[in-house]
Amino acid sequence: SYAVTVKLPYSGEDFSVPSILHLLGTMNTADRSLTMLDTALRRRFDFVEMMPDPDVLGDISVKGIHLANLLRTLNERIDVLYDREHTLGHAFLMPVKLIAESDSEDAAFDSLVSVFQNKIIPLLQEYFFEDWQKIRLVLGDNQKPADLQFVTEEKLTNQSLDALFGAGHGLNQYGDEQSRYTLQLFSEPVWQDPQAYLGIYASQKAATEMTQVSDGANLA
C-alpha cells in the first residue's frame, strides 16, 4: 500500500495520498545544473532510467520516412558526438506517429516538419553551441546533395578571404580551410522535401548494408 498521511507544517491539517494513487517524478539527466538535487534525490528514491526507445514508434512511415530509423540514426550520431544523456526522446516523434495513424499522411508530414524546425533544430543548436559542422553531421547533411541539406557549407578560398578581410589576414596559412555555414530558412523548399529527411538515415543504412555484405564476402 502506498497510502501516506502527513501533517502540513503551516496549517496543521492532515494531507493524505490514497493507496490507489501512484506518484511518479521525472527529471532530465542532461541538465547538469541539477546535479546536487539529483544526488539528494537518489539517496531517497529508486531511479529507473528511461532511454529513448525508437521501437515505440512502430513501423510507421510518413512519405517514405521511417520514424524509428530516423530517430535511431539521429541518436547514434548524437551519442558519438556528445553523449548518450543528450539523445532525443521518442516523445518528439510520438505526435507524428499519432497523426499518421489517425489523420492524413500530409498532416503527419506537416507535424514532422514542425518538430524539426521548432524542437530538434533549436535543441541541436543548444547542444553543440552553434557548432554547425557537428549539427551537419547529426543531420547527415555532409552526405546529401546540396539541395537536400538543412545546413549548407561553403568553403572559403584564400581569394574570398582576401575579399572579406584584406591581405595579411593570416587565415588558411596552415592549410586549414575556413567554412561558412548556413541554416536554410524555414520557408525554403528543402524543409518540405521528404527526401531531405530520408537522407538523414538512408545513407547510413546503405553503408551498413555494404559493410555487412563485405564482411559476409570475407567470411566466405
Q: pLDDT > 70: what percent of the chain? A: 84
Q: Which residue has the higher pLDDT, 76 or 26?
A: 76
Length of the chain in residues, anyone?
220
Q: How far is CA 174 from the centre of its chain?
A: 34
- Half-sphere exposure (CA, 13 Å, Cβ side) for 34? 9
Q: What is the pLDDT of residue 105?
A: 97
Give CA–CA dist 87/146, Å, rounded. 26
Q: What is the pLDDT of residue 207?
A: 47
Element (H, E) at 195: helix 194-219
* Residue closest to 83 by CA, chosen among 134, 150, 141, 151: 134
Q: 28 pLDDT band (50/70/90 cuts)? A: confident
8 A C-beta contact, residue 130 and residue 83: no
Q: Which residue has the higher pLDDT, 88 or 43?
A: 88
Q: 59 pLDDT band (50/70/90 cuts)? A: very high
Q: pLDDT > 90: what percent of the chain? A: 60
Kindly tell me if the per-residue pLDDT of 31 is higher than 80. no
Q: What is the pTM of this model?
A: 0.77
Mean pLDDT of 57-83: 97
Calculate the average pLDDT of the chain.
87
Handedness of CA 191, 197, 199, 204 (dihedral sign): positive
Please write the tens of the pLDDT for every residue from 104-135: 999 999 999 999 999 999 999 999 998 999 99
Please write the tens of the pLDDT for every residue from 155-199: 887 778 788 888 877 776 665 678 899 999 999 999 999 999 999
Q: What is the pLDDT of residue 67?
A: 98
Mean pLDDT of 100-105: 96
Q: What is the pLDDT of residue 42?
A: 73
